[in-house]
Amino acid sequence: MRFITSLTLALLSAAAVVGPAQAQTATIRMTWYSDGNEGEVISDLLKRFEEQNKDIKVVLDQVPFKAINETLPVQVASGQGPDIARVVDMGGLSRYYLDMRPYLKDAAYWDQNFGPFLEWMRPAGDTQSIPGFMTQLTVTGPFVNKTLFDQAQVPMPGDKATWEDWAKATKDVAAKVQVPFPIALDRSGHRFYSLAMSQGTKVFGSNGEPEVVDEGFKRAAQLVYDWHASGVMSKELWGSVSGTAYRGANDEFKNAQVVMYLSGSWQTSQFDKTVGDAFDWVVVPNPCGPGGCSSMPGGAGLVAFKTTQHPKEVARLMDYLASEPVLSEFYSRTLFVPGHLGLAKKGVAYPSASPQAAAALKTFTKSASEISPLAYRTQGYIHSRIIFNAVISRLGQAIAGETTLDEAYKRITADVAQQIAERTKK
Amino acid sequence: MTALGAVAGALAALPLRLLDGPMKACQRLIGAGRMPYVFLIPNFVFFGLFVFLPIAINVVFSVTGGPALFPSERPYVGAGQYAYLFDCGSYLDPNTCREDHFWRGVANTAKFVVFQVSAMVLFSLITALVLNMKIRGRGFFRAVYFFPVLLSPVVVALIWKWILQRDGLLNAAITTLGGEKILFFIDPSWAMFWAVFVSVWAHMGFYTLILLAGLQAIPSDLYEAAEMDATPRWRVFRRITLPLLWPNMIVVIVLALIKGVQTFDEVFVLTGGGPGTATLMVVQYIYETAFSNQVQNFGLAAAASVVLGLVLFLLTLAQLVLARRKES
């Protein structure tokens, strides 16, 4: 009897001690996708954060990129989303974001270092809120297989070369060394706009509303269409799937089947590892056209959602991750171009990068400084993904031979109008 | 052993005995004639929650618009989504339709169903006839033809993608024999051919099994009588086998039709709906419209799925009518 009484008292005492401690622990869920090694890096950083903040537990859910674009929007719309997520369609999900301003240690630090990018995350008309920060700034640009150029003994076009120059040179190389892809362009509207910007598209009309199909756009679309017809581009990327499906050429590039691959700075770490010393590759400045040589900016932001039960703890975690030393380490280890103005100015060291990856990052950083304001505006436009997706879906159909370019132009205009109307319907 | 058996029986019957009291009370209360409905209630609740309620929600979504997820936040648009879907110059030409992707999906699904069901019935029948003969290793062959049915459709599609892609097994064989690589997923005809082929390969075993069961149920004395009369084999097939196998054939045709109309996962993984929209099926259209497009248009997807549901309902009804007609 005495034993039972002692046991009961001991259990009650333990519950009294452990109970409140457990109640005070806030669990934060973070949804994360990776292009390269950033999943490992963020795990390390979160472990360190948890050691310093015993009252917060962070659960990191690593998901495929597709889940970020397809599953996450439904989750947050139903109020069942995570507390924090790494997203790429920053404007599209803006109405679900938490404004962390009241909970942050120093909101001015965020404005100062993430200011231009915060505009990409805010809902229309909002100029104040702070929903998150950029885990990376990405810049589109061409990766070139230098070894193939050397083997074919074709001179590589210079810094201000046009798209047509590159098309001719890469086709020569591909013919001489027998590779199937002279130019590969990700099946992505964002990547297409890198070409369209250089061809002088204006994207918006005089009233500020999108007028997607203009002369510059048509020049770019015609180039992509003609390149598929002449074999500069293979239909395996743009012509082989339907709708808005993304198709990259990572495997083809690392298997030395692509002469020039237009993708983005986020691939640097991956190619540094996967290509290794199999061949030499370089990143060259964005090719030029009548509209200039601007590439497209982009990136991924880490944002907080307003459905969180722990806004203070979320802000504490975000303050930690966005702090200069932590973010500098993150960019440095992941080989990402910084999306933090202070760090971009100071420069980030990449000690783990190979010489060719370091050179690639240098070119990307230079390209970032030459991005046109229109490219920034297009990327930051709240319905930009609607435009990007309409373009790849319809252009893909034209390339596959299902429709004409003129019909595709009409459909793009109609799709954009219809989808914006649907999204804004209340 | 008998005593043990009796104890086990008594124990097993115990929960049922416990129900005796409430059942008798219920019977007294509502009468014996109404008791069957009491037994239907649990299933009805289950189906109501997981079948009828989702169908009702789907119908509600199909008459609303906007991006919101909760029905109360969605504006009522009446038949607007249906009007948008059916806004066509000519239903035979998707290019004249406002929602051309839906009609491309309908046309592709119809094409797929025609080729797939014909091939499925033909090859299943031939296979069943051969497997019904007294051949050596019959059990082994039956297992081999049934094996693909056990695989997940995604696994099936990935295996075939691995075989058919640019650097896949088939192209390796072609180039070894001195031929040129064929890009199977770029030519629309090839893509549709392989979609049908893979589907037939994956599901044929199931239908073969149904036909085999039908063949084995045909009384052997009919064949013996035909043999004694020296009836040619083709006539035996036409006059005995086919008429007696017809009920099973109807089941096979209707099941294959329904499954064909619902096709999604295999073709989606194999071709992604491409090239262009050459293998885009209706179910893929619904999935993309609701979930993978940037603006998740739940209303339009719900309207399209109601239309698809009606088609499937009509097919099922046809099966019932045909089966009943045969019985009578």
Residue A365 corresponds to which tokens in the numbers above?
A: 């950083």
pLDDT above 60: residue A17 = no
Region A91-102: what's the mean pLDDT? 93
pTM for the whole structure:
0.85
Six token digits for residue A193: 């706009």
Closest CB from A74, A239, A401 relative to B296: A74
Give contacts of B288 with chain A, Cβ < 8 Å: 243-244
A351-372 average pLDDT score: 89
Chain B partners within 8 Å of A71 (Cβ) = 291
- pLDDT band at residue A426 using 50, 70 and 90 as cut-offs: confident
Residue type for position B138: R
- Written as one letter, the residue type at B53 is L
pLDDT (0 to 100) of residue B150: 94
- Cβ–Cβ pairs < 8 A, chains A and B: 109
Which residue intervals of A98-188 are DSSP H helices? 107-121, 146-152, 163-177
Q: Which pLDDT score is estimated for A21?
A: 47
The string of DSSP codes covering B273-296 is T-STTTT--HHHHHHIIIIISSS-
Q: Tell me if A385 sits within 8 A of A193, measured CB to CB.
A: no
Assess whether the previous peptide bond of B275 is cis (omega < 30° from 0).
yes
Q: Is the predicted pLDDT of residue A23 greater than 70, yes or no?
A: no
- List, in sequence order, every residue forming a beta bridge with A138; answer none if it has no partner: A298
**What letter represents residue B180's amino acid?**
E
Please state, in angstroms and rounded to a whole number, the distance separating the CA atoms of residues A333 and A79: 34
Does the distance separating the beta carbons of A426 and B75 come in below 8 Å?
A: yes
Strand partners, A97: A305
Q: Which of B93, B92, B85 is nearest to B285 (CA)?
A: B85
Diameter of chain A measured on Cα atoms: 93
Annotate A231-256 with b (16+ C-beta within 10 A) or e (fewer).
ebbbbbbbbbbbbbbbbbbbebbbeb
- Least Cα distance to A162 among A219, A204, A218 occurs for A219
| Cβ within 8 Å, pair B278-A400 | yes
- pLDDT, tens only, B63-78: 999 888 888 889 999 9
Q: Check residue B79 and give its pLDDT.
A: 95
* DSSP category for residue B184: T
Residue for token pair 């880490």 = A302
Q: Cα A322 vs. chain centroid, distance in angstroms?
A: 18
Instruction: Report how far residue A354's alpha carbon sits from residue A280's, in angstroms, rounded to the nearest whole number.
Output: 11
3-state secondary structure of A382: coil
Instruction: Please choose, from the candidates A212, A135, A190, the residue with its C-alpha nearest in 3D space to the C-alpha of residue A380.
Output: A190
Three-point CA angle A52, A55, A59, nearest 5°:
85
| Residue A15 exposed, middle or buried by CB count within 10 Å (0-12, 13-18, 19+) | exposed
Cα atoms in the 13 Å half-sphere on the side-chain side of A101: 10
A245 to chain B, any CB pair closer than 8 A? The answer is yes
Place of tokens 């722990």: A310
Compute and round to an integer the Cα radius of gyration of chain A: 24
Q: Looking at chain B, which residue has its C-alpha nearest residue A395?
A: B276
Q: Which of B180, B178, B252 minimizes the C-alpha distance to B215?
A: B252
For CA atoms A103, A105, A111, A116, give the dihedral sign.
Answer: negative
Unique residue bearing structure tokens 């980030």? A348
* Interface test mutation site (partner B, options A88, A238, A240, A387, max chain B beta carbons within 10 A): A240
- The alpha carbon of A186 is separated from its chain's Cα centroid by a whole number of angstroms, namely 13
In whole angstroms, give the CA distance from residue B99 to residue B83: 10
Low-confidence ranges of chain B (pLDDT < 70): 1-2, 294, 326-328
Instruction: State the pairing for strand pair A297-304/A56-62.
Output: unpaired
- pLDDT for the residue numbered B129: 94
Q: What is the 3-state secondary structure (H, E, C) of A41-53?
A: HHHHHHHHHHHHC
Query: Does residue A383 sit in helix, strand or coil?
Result: coil
Q: Which of A188, A241, A251 to mutate to test the interface with B (most CBs of B within 10 A)?
A: A241
In order, the DSSP letters of A319-361 are: HHHHSHHHHHHHHHHHTPBP--HHHHHH----TTS-HHHHHHH
The alpha carbon of B171 is separated from its chain's Cα centroid by a whole number of angstroms, namely 31
Q: Compute CA distances A367 → A337, A357, A372, whole Å.
A: 11, 15, 10
At residue B328, what is the residue type?
S
Structure tokens at B165: 């892609």
Between β-strands A181-185 and A258-264, what pairing exists: parallel, antiparallel or unpaired? Answer: parallel
> Which segment of A211-225, A269-283, A344-358, B9-23 scores lowest on mean pLDDT?
B9-23
Is A243 within 8 Å of B280 when comparing Cβ atoms? yes
In chain A, residues with a C-beta closer than 8 Å to the C-beta of B57 are none
- At A137-165, the pLDDT tens digits run 999 999 999 999 999 999 999 988 999 99
**Closest approach of chain B CAs to the CA of A423, in angstroms?**
5
A135: helix, strand or coil: strand
A423–B274 CB contact, under 8 Å: no
Q: Is A240 helix (H, G, I), strand (E, B) or coil?
A: coil
Residues of B in contact with A77 (CB under 8 A): 67-69, 296
User: A282-311 pLDDT, tens per residue?
Assistant: 999 999 999 999 999 999 999 999 999 999
Name the residue type at position B199. S
Q: What are the residues whose beta carbons fall under 8 Å from the beta carbon of A259, sequence distance 6 or more?
A: A144, A145, A148, A149, A170, A173, A174, A179, A181, A182, A183
The rounded distance, in Å, linking the Cα atoms of A87 and A339 is 14
DSSP A289: B
**Helix, strand or coil, per DSSP, at residue A407:** helix
Q: What SS3 state is found at B170?
A: helix
Listed in sequence order, the residues at least 6 apart from B247 whose beta carbon sits closer than 8 Å to its beta carbon are B214, B323, B326
Closest chain A C-alpha to B286 CA, distance in angstroms: 12
Task: Extract the tokens encoding B60.
Answer: 């509600």
CB–CB of A171/A231 below 8 Å? yes
Give yes or no for a contact between B179 and B102, defined as CB atoms under 8 angstroms apart.
Answer: no
